[in-house]
Chain A
Amino acid sequence: MTEILSLQNITFTYDPDQPIIKNAVEDVTFSVNEGEWIAIVGHNGSGKSTLARIINGLLFPQSGEVKVFGEMMNEANIWDIRSQLGMVFQNPDNQFVGATVQDDVAFALENNGVPYEDMVIRVENALKQVQMDAFMDHEPQHLSGGQKQRVAIAGALALRPNLLILDEATSMLDPQGRKEVIEIVQQLRDETGLTVLSITHDLEEAILADRLLFMNNGKKFAEGNPSEIFGLGDQLIKLGLDLPFSMKMARLLQKEGVHLQGAHMSEEELVNDLWISNFKK
């Protein structure tokens, strides 16, 4: 498996001149392989957004190495790296540059000097991938939050990126919009094998990832697949992270004496386990 991204002992602080240095990110090491879906979770101020900014070169760490697509990131290759990296931010309004949907999707292509004929095809395909091709000429104010985020994803996809970073992309959306966006990302991954790095505190979103990175106070607290991380239970709650609804429910049921086994990542799993729980006694 090819390694798409690797961070080695990254330490970053916003103001290095302060007498007492408070690191936003401290000694973080992790890597992402091609085709993986990684989620970085953690409460506010845990350093997860800072990590995203380090990955796309908006910030440079004070120490440690960032390797993207096998290359060490530096000032010289940063634009090249950005052209292979799609990123979707939190606020759907503040990242919409174009006057209409198609202009916005084309923005990154224009910046990278893609020829016109090529652009037209890529814009159309990207919009089809997120099922927004019927909205080509729409202006942003006539779109819902979820639709705007889908356009932002299309804008990233048009670049044919090797890595898609979602920086809290669903946190400002209503449940409907959140569902739309997550479904699109899942679908893209199934169809194209896109590598996804999502930074989130939405646990229903995190649970879909192959691997979770749990950040606390700028440090990597734990890393593992969702059942490992959510298996930490009380520790997570102590560090300000909630459990997914199905797991919380299972814990309450267990307290009441219901016999349940295993991790319950989805409501379906919980229901399946519940209705046979009496047989297993």
Chain B
Amino acid sequence: MMEKMIFGRFIPGSSFIHKMDPRAKLIFVFAFILLVFVANNIPTYVALIVFTVAVVFVSRIRLYFLINGLKPVMILMIFTFLLHIFFTKGGDVIVHLGFIKIYEEGLKQGIFISTRFLVLVFMTSILTLTTSPISITDGLETLLNPLKKIKVPVHELALMMSIALRFIPTLMDETDKIMKAQMARGSDVTSGPIKERIKAVVPLLIPLFVSAFKRAEDLATAMEVRGYRGGEGRTRYRQLKWGIRDTIALLVLVLLGVALVYLRMNF
């Protein structure tokens, strides 16, 4: 189950998109999210789909892999689709079965909204699939830097995020170890009624929390000894480089925007 989920996973590669600056990618995705709401008719949605497929192609992530990994999200999409089909009224009645009436407008809205959903999920997945979590953190930190003026602790937040990311595998290993230790003593987390299972999680969480606090303390000491005293006067080892490909990508997005507005006005 966990292996299939592609949310938040990073697949290393060397495509055009992999090589982009994380800042450019973040701007790109946010701008794209806004652009999606420009679409309101068939040509615009077709344009969005074509564009998304093109991006998937450029990222060299296999479409099959992407679709397979996003199955859990698809359920949500189908649900939205059905909701619209049954509850949006307007236009001609296409299907009339007993008390169920499906209107033309409902079908249209259903398709539009789920397409919107689909392109958004695809785009954000491509962002996380092609960018390592630490690069995303770096990108966010630089992009949010102006917020420091209004006392938002941008550097601290970014550091917290990167440490959290760094410790996920460590804590996963630890959970696994504790689980095995408890299983060796006869606790069973994987079967039985829900109530029992929840009860069995407690002896798992407590040692995990205790050790997480211990780790945090050790880490804080190690950081202090290594001279950490906040973001002031700190230099950065990870340098972000804005390249020509980043400018190109954003220009392409501008073109998409122009195309969408044109299609919206003229069809």
Q: Spell out A's residues near B (CB within 8 Å).
A: 56, 58, 79, 82-83, 85, 87, 89, 91, 93-100, 102-103, 106-116, 119-120, 123, 139-141, 155
- B232-246 interface (Cβ within 8 A of A): 233-239
Q: Spell out B's residues near A (CB within 8 Å).
A: 132-134, 162-163, 165-166, 169-170, 173, 214-215, 218-219, 221-229, 233-239
A102→B235 CA distance, assembly (Å): 15
Check A97/B234 contact, CB under 8 A, given A140-B170, A141-B170. Answer: no
- The answer to whether A99 and B235 have CB atoms under 8 Å apart is no
Check A97/B218 contact, CB under 8 A, given A79-B227, A111-B234, A113-B233. Answer: no
Could you tell me the distance in whole angstroms from the C-beta of A143 to the nearest C-beta in chain B? 11
A99→B132 CA distance, assembly (Å): 10
- The answer to whether B236 and A110 have CB atoms under 8 Å apart is yes
- The answer to whether A141 and B169 have CB atoms under 8 Å apart is yes
Check A97/B166 contact, CB under 8 A, given A111-B234, A113-B234, A119-B235. Answer: yes
Q: Which residues of B contact A93 (CB under 8 A)?
A: 170, 215
Could you tell me the distance in whole angstroms from the C-beta of A137 to the nearest C-beta in chain B? 10
Given contacts A82-B225, A99-B132, A155-B226, 7 further A-B contacts (CB under 8 A): A83-B227, A102-B237, A108-B226, A111-B234, A113-B235, A116-B239, A141-B169
Q: Whose C-beta in chain B lies nearest to the C-beta of A123?
A: B237
Check A96/B166 contact, CB under 8 A, given A89-B222, A109-B235. Answer: yes
Check A82/B235 contact, CB under 8 A, given A58-B221, A96-B166, A97-B219. Answer: no
Q: Which residues of A contact B133 (CB under 8 A)?
A: 99
**What would 25 A/B residue contacts be, using CB atoms closer than 8 Å?**
A58-B224, A87-B222, A93-B215, A94-B215, A97-B166, A97-B222, A99-B134, A99-B166, A108-B226, A108-B227, A109-B235, A109-B237, A110-B234, A110-B236, A111-B226, A111-B229, A113-B233, A113-B234, A116-B235, A116-B236, A116-B239, A140-B166, A141-B169, A141-B173, A155-B226
Q: Which residues of B contact A113 (CB under 8 A)?
A: 233-235
- The answer to whether B221 and A89 have CB atoms under 8 Å apart is yes
- The answer to whether B222 and A95 have CB atoms under 8 Å apart is yes
Could you tell me the distance in whole angstroms from the C-beta of B43 to the nearest C-beta in chain A? 44
Q: Which residues of B contact A79 (CB under 8 A)?
A: 227, 229
Q: Which residues of B contact A111 (CB under 8 A)?
A: 226-229, 234
